[in-house]
Amino acid sequence: MSATPWALEVEDLSITFRTDRGTLRAVEGVSFRVAPGRTLAIVGESGCGKSVTSLAVMGLLAPNARVGGTVRLAGQPLDDAGRRAARGRDMAMIFQEPMTSLNPAFTAGDQVAEAIRAHEGVSLRAATERAIALFERVRIPEAARRARQYPHQLSGGMRQRVMIAMALACRPKLLIADEPTTALDVTVQAQILALLDELKRETGTAVVLITHDLGVVRDHAEEVLVMYAGRMAEQAPAARLFDRPEHPYTIGLLGAAPRLDEKRGRLASIPGTVPDLYRPPPGCRFAPRCPFSIAACDAGQPEFRPLEEAHRAACIRAPLEAALAA
């Protein structure tokens, strides 16, 4: 039963929020899997559902959220109680804002030691020693001194390293990194991502990397899931996706991504706005913004279908080359 090659399997995930304005369908029909030691990047614009998807896996959504579908961690289906037990032990998460994600009232070392003691019956002294060892592992210089410092005494990059140390404290099978470098300087970004890669190789942790930065995806992920307006748009191995994107939204994103190796006069952008998720359009959600849309696109939800081995897209016109030639 648990002899699965997957660290994380998400099947047909749906997330709705009940609000004063009505029911918001934030995520619908999302499925993906991640193998140990591999990185899946989930890409999309703000509001596409990538962050709520990761929070739903962790069980950290607000009480007004309803989550459907199944989530399996190393083959074990997770219910609410299972998520609570697995949090911090079998799955861990680091967040976008290292400046505010640490508690200002406790030292960095205490906060990491607390994560260890929450799951393992070790003494405070032993937990603190392990926290210092973890600090060394995430390349925090003068680990013992830093462990005694408060978050306000640490830089943003240092705080994110503390968050990573905390996440790795109990050797999780899954690490979710929600835009871990968005708030950091470019040079610090590169260091943090390199550190995550290295730790992933050493520990065999599966990584889900939430980002809107395609440059990060290209260098650090093996698999990519592109999301648009709460649904899956396209999924493929990273190399394949960058080489032959099939969904018009992905093509637009790649056109809009700034590239360091290419001089551009200005950034390309996708015209139009994301649909209202309180009243989503009946057809393809990207159709109103899509340069390739035809009448059939508005008729119904496009099926998320395989194009070639591991490459799938939710577009009735894919593969586009064939469609445009016809």
- Cβ at position 3, least distance to other proteins in Å: 26
Q: State the distance between the two ends of the chain, measured CA to CA, in whole angstroms.
A: 47
d(CA 259, CA 254): 9
Span of 94-102, 121-129, 233-241, 318-326 interacting with other proteins by CB under 8 A:
94-102
Token digits of residue 264:
């551009």
Single out the residue of 1, 20, 141, 152 in contact with other proteins (rule: CB under 8 A): 152
Under rule CB under 8 A, residue 114 binds other proteins: yes
Single out the residue of 8, 102, 127, 257 in contact with other proteins (rule: CB under 8 A): 102
d(CA 64, CA 114): 29
Token digits of residue 311:
């490459």
Q: Is 77 helix (H, G, I), strand (E, B) or coil?
A: strand
d(CA 92, CA 88): 5
- Could you tell me which residues come within 8 angstroms of residue 315 by beta carbon, excluding any fewer than 6 positions away? 233, 234, 246, 247, 248, 284, 302
Single out the residue of 38, 87, 146, 311 in contact with other proteins (rule: CB under 8 A): 87
Q: Lay out the site mask for other proteins across 25-64 (x = CB under 8 A, - = otherwise).
A: ---------------------------------x-x----
Token digits of residue 160:
């994110």
d(CA 139, CA 123): 24
Which residues are 231's β-sheet partners?
A: 228
Question: Within 13 Å of residue 24, how many CA atoms lie on the same side as its CB?
Answer: 17
Single out the residue of 22, 23, 75, 118 in contact with other proteins (rule: CB under 8 A): 118
Single out the residue of 44, 49, 88, 230 in contact with other proteins (rule: CB under 8 A): 88
Single out the residue of 33, 119, 139, 240 in contact with other proteins (rule: CB under 8 A): 119
Comparing CB distances to other proteins, the nearer of 4 and 149 is 149
Q: Lay out the site mask for other proteins across 155-194 (x = CB under 8 A, - = otherwise).
A: --------x--xx-x-------------------------
Q: Is 228 helix (H, G, I), strand (E, B) or coil?
A: strand
Comparing CB distances to other proteins, the nearer of 106 and 278 is 106
Comparing CB distances to other proteins, the nearer of 171 and 305 is 171
Cβ contact 44:228 at 8 Å: yes
| Cα-based angle 195, 179, 49 (whole degrees, multiple of 5) | 145
Comparing CB distances to other proteins, the nearer of 54 and 293 is 54
Comparing CB distances to other proteins, the nearer of 62 and 324 is 62
Under rule CB under 8 A, residue 229 binds other proteins: no
Q: Which residues bind other proteins (CB under 8 A)?
A: 58, 60, 84-89, 92-93, 95, 97, 100-107, 114-115, 118-119, 149-150, 152-153, 163, 166-167, 169
